[in-house]
């Protein structure tokens, strides 16, 4: 599900089961991440699938990448794997107005 930045943030902040997932490359993450995000690079193929399958399906995942394209794909993959609550940050981190920290 695609959410605007405003909705993504407000929903995330009110969600006690929230996990932020960054699906960019390590090099991209080195430029800064949304606080408390975990990184699983979608470009790693089967390793990405394996890492996602180890996550708790009872949690709610707030997913982002650089522009919102890879994270939208990641949400689709997560849905196929049985995750019911994967939310894509439309516009990605390039449109992010919140805090960014070093990983």
Alpha-carbon distance 62 to 85, whole Å? Answer: 8
Both tokens assigned to 4 = 């605007």
Domains observed in the chain: 2-95 (3.40.250.10)
Taking only the tens place, the pLDDT of each residue in 3-60 is: 999 999 999 999 999 999 999 999 999 999 999 999 999 999 999 999 999 999 999 9
Span between the terminal Cα atoms of the chain, in Å: 26
Q: How far is CA 45 from the centre of its chain?
A: 16
* Average pLDDT value for residue range 78-94: 97
pTM over 0.85: yes
pLDDT at 69 (0 to 100): 97
| Catalytic site residue from 20, 21, 23, 65 | 65
> Using an 8 Å Cβ cutoff, are 68 and 9 in contact?
no
**29 is an active site residue:** no
Q: How far is CA 30 from CA 5, 61, 100, 102, 103, in A?
A: 22, 21, 11, 7, 6
């Amino acid at each position: 599900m695609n959410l605007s930045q405003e909705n993504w943030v407000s929903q995330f902040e009110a969600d006690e089961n929230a996990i932020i997932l960054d699906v960019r490359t390590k090099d991209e993450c080195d430029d800064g991440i949304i606080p408390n995000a975990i990184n699983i690079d979608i470009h790693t193929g089967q390793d990405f699938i394996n890492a996602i399958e180890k996550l708790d399906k009872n949690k709610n995942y707030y997913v982002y990448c650089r522009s919102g394209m890879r994270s939208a794909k990641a949400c689709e993959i997560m849905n196929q794997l049985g995750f019911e609550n994967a939310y894509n940050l439309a516009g990605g981190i390039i449109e992010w107005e919140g805090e960014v920290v070093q990983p």
